[in-house]
Amino acid sequence: MTASAVSIRDMVVAFDEFVAIDGVSLDVAKGESFGIVGESGSGKSTLLRAVAGLNAFESGSLSVSGHNYTGRKRDKSFYRTVQMVFQDPYGSLHPRQTVDRLLLEPLEIHGFTDVDTRIARALDEVGLGAGFRFRYSHQLSGGQRQRIAIARALILEPKILLLDEPTSALDASIQAEILNLLEQARKDRGLTFIMVSHDLGVISHMCERLAVMRKGKVVEMVSVEALEQREFSADYTRQLLVASEGFRRT
Rounded mean pLDDT of 216-240? 90
CATH H-level superfamily of 4-243: P-loop containing nucleotide triphosphate hydrolases (3.40.50.300)
Count CB neighbours of 54 within 10 A. Answer: 16
* pLDDT digit string, tens, across residues 47-69: 999 999 999 999 999 999 999 99
Confidence tier at 88 by pLDDT (50, 70, 90): confident
Percentage of the chain lying above the pLDDT 90 cut: 72
In angstroms, the Cα distances linking 87 to 150, 186, 208, 238 are 11, 18, 21, 25
Rounded mean pLDDT of 228-240? 87
pLDDT the model gives residue 162: 98
Confidence tier at 244 by pLDDT (50, 70, 90): confident
Alpha-carbon distance 27 to 25, whole Å?
Answer: 7
pLDDT the model gives residue 227: 87
User: 68-82, 109-123, 195-209, 233-247: which has the minimum mean pLDDT?
Assistant: 233-247
* 82 or 242: which leads in pLDDT: 82
pLDDT the model gives residue 168: 86
pLDDT the model gives residue 2: 64
Confidence tier at 250 by pLDDT (50, 70, 90): very low
Rounded mean pLDDT of 2-26? 93
Alpha-carbon distance 153 to 102, whole Å?
Answer: 11
Rounded mean pLDDT of 113-138? 93
Rounded mean pLDDT of 75-89? 91
Amino acid at site 22: D
Rounded mean pLDDT of 67-79? 91
User: What mean pLDDT, rounded, does the chain reach?
Assistant: 91
Confidence tier at 245 by pLDDT (50, 70, 90): low
Query: In this structure, what DSSP letter does residue 163 have?
Result: E
* pLDDT digit string, tens, across residues 133-181: 999 988 999 999 999 999 999 999 999 999 999 988 888 889 999 999 9
pLDDT the model gives residue 91: 80
Alpha-carbon distance 92 to 114, whole Å?
Answer: 25
| Secondary structure (DSSP) of 222-248 | EEHHHHHTT----HHHHHHHHHSTT--
At 77, which helix (H) or strand (E)?
A: helix 76-81
pLDDT at 247 exceeding the cut of 50: no
For residue 167, give the nearest of 210, 208, 203, 221 by alpha carbon. Answer: 203
Rounded mean pLDDT of 191-217? 93
Alpha-carbon distance 85 to 41, whole Å?
Answer: 19
Asked whether 137 and 97 are in contact (CB, 8 A), the reply is yes
